[in-house]
């Protein structure tokens, strides 16, 4: 599933952003529900329902970041900083697969 999301163009940063927005939406839904319905128990349930999305988005963000890292390693194009550091360590030659 994570690989499919990655191939669809969804990146870890998008999931982290969705998680942060979910926290804000949780507060707003709680506040609006409390204001318009007047029932504090129902407002709490709305806030908790939306608030439970955040950990899911953050977990998907971590999984997508791992997928992005795996793809960078397989493609043979390590991240720029890592490539420079490894290049210096191995005298200008980065071993295959790193």
Domain assignment of residue 84, yes or no = yes
Domain residues for 8?
2-89
How many domains would you assign to the chain? 1
pLDDT at residue 57 in the model: 96
Domain assignment of residue 97, yes or no = no
pLDDT at residue 89 in the model: 53
Task: Produce one character per residue of 2-23: b if its CB has 16 or more CB atoms within 10 Å, e if not.
Answer: eeebbeeebebeebbebbeebe
Per-10-residue mean pLDDT of the chain, 98 residues long, equals: 91 95 90 77 80 93 93 70 51 50
pLDDT at residue 93 in the model: 54
pLDDT at residue 20 in the model: 95
Domain assignment of residue 69, yes or no = yes
Domain assignment of residue 74, yes or no = yes
């Amino acid at each position: 599933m994570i690989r499919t999301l990655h191939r669809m163009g969804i990146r870890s940063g998008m999931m982290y952003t969705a998680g942060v927005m979910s926290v804000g939406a949780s507060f707003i839904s709680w506040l609006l529900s409390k204001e318009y319905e007047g029932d504090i128990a129902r407002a709490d349930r709305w806030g908790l329902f939306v608030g439970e999305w955040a950990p899911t988005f953050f977990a998907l963000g971590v999984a997508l970041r791992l997928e992005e890292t795996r793809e960078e390693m397989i493609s043979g194009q390590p991240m720029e900083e890592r490539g420079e550091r490894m290049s210096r360590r191995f005298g200008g030659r980065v071993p295959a697969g790193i």
